[in-house]
Amino acid sequence: MLRIIGLYLYDGFQLLDACGPITSLEISGRMANDAYQVILLSAKGGPVRSSSGVVIETIPADLEGIIDTLIVVGGNGSRDAMHDEAIVVFLRHAAGTVRRVCSVCSGAFLLAGAGVLDGRRATTHWRRAKLLARLFPKVSVEPDRIHIRDGHVWTSAGITAGIDLSLALIAEDLGEALARRVAQEMVVYYRRPGGQSQFSALAELGGEGAQFAPLLDWMRSRGIAYGILLHGRVI
């Protein structure tokens, strides 16, 4: 059974938000006799520029009845895209017609702006979770999750979590064993241990402007080994 997966792009989208799912689905499709066909959509079709400057060709998002699963990617451009009336109308309509509607990273803001996440549990990049909850109080935001399924709506955390999301979709469609083989082929976790807090906590400890950043930089410059205790583990 061929399933058509539509990835929705807009100016300023994050390239890896799109490429992670595309690659996961491509590999699984080869393993399962062309199980998936990926199409790239945008409001008007034509070339769409990512935040990195890489341009991807798309087709107009008007393929009603053809798309099995719609994945809305994130990126810096989501700030403008979530207010684009054409995008909002399309996503609101698509959510009622496709079998599954999904978001990667800040793509959740577009789904929330279209009302798709009202009354649902959802996640997004840990750095933007508080903003999502503040802007859309009808959404129950869970900032520490890698991905969440609520009915036919799936949301995922930041950037590389699009791969985790894709593996979960593949497992639902084609089985756990095949999804695990895809993860092995991509050299990624099949089920990533822990939630987003492990990454955000590490960033807070050692990131620019963080409390311990000067100390860690000083230790690195002198070749001093160090460990950070995080969730009971030294990293």
Q: Is 105 an annotated catalytic residue?
A: yes
Among the listed residues 105, 112, 165, 169, the single catalytic one is: 105
Question: In the prediction, which pLDDT does 34 show?
Answer: 87
Question: In the prediction, which pLDDT does 105 show?
Answer: 97
Low-confidence residues in the chain, pLDDT < 50: 198, 200-209, 226-235
Closest by CA to 24, choosing from 161, 225, 142, is 161
- Locate the DSSP E strands across the chain: 3-8, 36-42, 46-49, 55-60, 69-72, 100-103, 121-122, 140-141, 147-150, 153-156, 229-230, 233-234
HEC string of 165-202? HHHHHHHHHHCHHHHHHHHHHHCCCCCCCCCCHHHHHH
Domain 3-186 is in which class? alpha beta
Question: In the prediction, which pLDDT does 64 show?
Answer: 73
Question: In the prediction, which pLDDT does 210 show?
Answer: 52
Question: In the prediction, which pLDDT does 207 show?
Answer: 46
Question: In the prediction, which pLDDT does 196 show?
Answer: 63
Domain ranges for the chain: 3-186, 197-234
Question: In the prediction, which pLDDT does 235 show?
Answer: 43
Helix (H, G, I), strand (E, B) or coil at 160: coil
Whole-model pTM: value is 0.84
Question: In the prediction, which pLDDT does 197 show?
Answer: 54
